[in-house]
A and B are shown apart, each in its own frame.
Chain A
Amino acid sequence: EAAVTQSPRNKVAVTGGKVTLSCNQTNNHNNMYWYRQDTGHGLRLIHYSYGAGSTEKGDIPDGYKASRPSQENFSLILELATPSQTSVYFCASGDWGGSSYEQYFGPGTRLTVL
């Protein structure tokens, strides 16, 4: 069974503080993704990775950094958190080709920046 886990599940941060959201996958997928979900916007891609050591900017990367130290782990980093980054963040993993085209999503992290 595909598995993507995220930590923490809930986080309250202060404006200007540093926040790190972590994601772990046991699917052995090459690709990993970070999305944020806001009412009226659906899921928007922040950063993604093709494999360990790589990170790429998605559609809304400003204010976020990403790190992929290993095949299994992908982190999203908010160096200076702002209230506009209050959202629900989802990590996903996936590979393209063969019988596997879909992405598998983690349970989400609810981040509140005060």
Chain B
Amino acid sequence: AQKVTQTQTSISVVEKTTVTMDCVYETRDSSYFLFWYKQTASGEIVFLIRQDSYKKENATVGHYSLNFQKPKSSIGLIITATQIEDSAVYFCAMRSNMGYKLTFGTGTSLLVDP
């Protein structure tokens, strides 16, 4: 069975700084996908970024990037130049290459202060 763990319950940062959110995962699969989702205060859940396990280079989308450390089963989310609107709950998730299910972590709440 797969497991995703986010140990940081909440993080507070000042606007325009860089924040890193941690996520570790457990799987027996040799090929898998890792995702980060954002849930806004309104409850909306949106996809942010994906890392394929077979790719060595870290994924980057806009001001979101990933720190993929496969030997440590770790996939950190880095947000650079944070903005007030980045305040949200961030979920890490994974899926086996052979499966249809996503397994989510418990989320990290980010507060960006002016």
By a beta-carbon cutoff of 8 Å, the part of chain A in contact with chain B is 31, 33, 35, 40-45, 48, 50, 56, 58-59, 88, 90, 92, 96, 101-105, 107-108
Q: Which residue of B lies closest to A35 (CB)?
A: B104
Pick out which of these stretches binds chain A: B10-18, B40-48, B62-70, B71-79.
B40-48
What are 14 A-B interface contacts by the 8 Å CB criterion?
A31-B100, A41-B106, A42-B106, A42-B107, A43-B102, A48-B100, A56-B100, A92-B45, A96-B100, A101-B50, A102-B35, A102-B50, A104-B47, A105-B45
Which range contains the number of B residues in contact with the other chain?
Answer: 20 to 34
Task: Give B40 Cβ to nearest chain A Cβ, in Å.
Answer: 11
CB contacts (< 8 Å) of B6 on chain A: these are: 42
- Distance of A101 Cα from B95 Cα, bound (Å): 10
- How many angstroms from the CA of A101 to the CA of B96 in the assembled complex? 12
Min CB gap B93→A, angstroms: 8
Whether B47 contacts A102 by the Cβ 8 Å rule is yes
Query: Does B91 sit within 8 A of A, measured CB to CB?
Result: yes
- Residue in B closest to A108 when the chains form the complex, CB atoms: B43
Contacts A41-B106, A42-B107 given; indicate if A103 touches B100 (C-beta within 8 A). Answer: no
Across-interface contacts of B44 in A (CB, < 8 A): 105, 107
Residues of B within 8 A of A (CB): 6, 33, 35, 43-47, 50, 91, 93, 95, 100-107
Residues of A within 8 Å of B101, CB to CB, are 33, 45, 48, 58-59
Contact for B43 among A42, A103, A104, A107, CB less than 8 A: A107
B104 with A44: CB separation less than 8 A:
yes
- Report the bound CA distance from A59 to B104 in whole Å: 11
A107 CA to B42 CA, complexed, in Å: 9
Least CB distance from A93 to B in Å reads 12
Smallest CB separation, A6 vs chain B (Å): 11
Instruction: Please indicate which of the listed interface residues A33, A102, A108 has the most CB atoms of chain B within 10 Å of its own CB.
Output: A102
Most buried by A among B6, B45, B50: B45
CB neighbours (8 Å) of A92 from chain B are 45
Given the contacts A101-B50, A102-B50, A42 and B104 also touching, CB distance less than 8 Å: yes
- Name the residue in A43, A59, A92, A96 with the highest tally of chain B Cβ atoms < 10 Å from its Cβ: A43
